[in-house]
């Protein structure tokens, strides 16, 4: 029983403190490439206005609001940064599903006039280590 508790404590220590641990976050450490594809699809379904709802009765564009909320939160910025780094580190080409989904996300941010804000939020220099370098 005591050994199980020690294992749990060790697991907690591996995540570190703060929002940016691991490569940039913990995403590549806990998800494989197929699961990361699903993550891109989930984020896309939240940000893109694929239903074409347009404006609400009060005149608010919900797609723009969702983009703003995504980039306003530290977890959203970290997630976007990680998704972009994943494409570069794993050398995904333009025909890959992840590249296409990420392009659609960036295009949605462009339509919401948030590309410059995203750039300023994400351009913090980080030392990036590829998965091959960690082995």
Ordered by start, the domain boundaries in the chain are 2-50+59-134
Residue range 7-58, pLDDT digits in tens: 444 444 444 444 444 455 555 566 777 777 888 888 888 787 766 666 777 7
Q: What is the pLDDT of residue 16?
A: 45
Partners of 61 in the beta sheet?
Answer: 55
Where residue 131 falls among pLDDT bands split at 50, 70, 90?
low
CB atoms closer than 10 angstroms to residue 41: 13
The residue ranking higher by pLDDT, 63 or 23, is 63
How much is the pLDDT for 129?
Answer: 58
SS3 at position 82: helix
pLDDT at 133: 57
CB contact at 8 A, 118 and 71: yes
- According to DSSP H, which parts of the chain are helical? 2-14, 27-30, 33-47, 62-72, 74-89, 97-111, 115-122, 131-134
87-101 confidence digits (pLDDT tens): 777 777 788 888 888
């Amino acid at each position: 029983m005591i050994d199980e508790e020690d294992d749990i404590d060790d697991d907690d220590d591996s995540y570190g403190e703060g929002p940016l641990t691991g490569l940039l976050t913990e995403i590549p450490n806990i998800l494989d490439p197929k699961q990361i594809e699903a993550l891109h699809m989930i984020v896309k379904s939240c940000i893109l206005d694929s239903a074409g709802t347009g404006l609400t009765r009060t005149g608010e564009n919900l797609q723009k609001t969702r983009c703003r909320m995504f980039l306003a939160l530290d977890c959203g910025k970290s997630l976007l940064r990680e998704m972009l780094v994943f494409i570069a580190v794993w050398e995904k080409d333009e025909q890959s599903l992840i590249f296409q989904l990420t392009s659609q996300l960036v295009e949605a941010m462009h339509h919401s006039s948030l590309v410059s804000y995203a750039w300023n939020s994400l351009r913090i220099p980080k030392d990036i280590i590829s998965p091959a370098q960690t082995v």
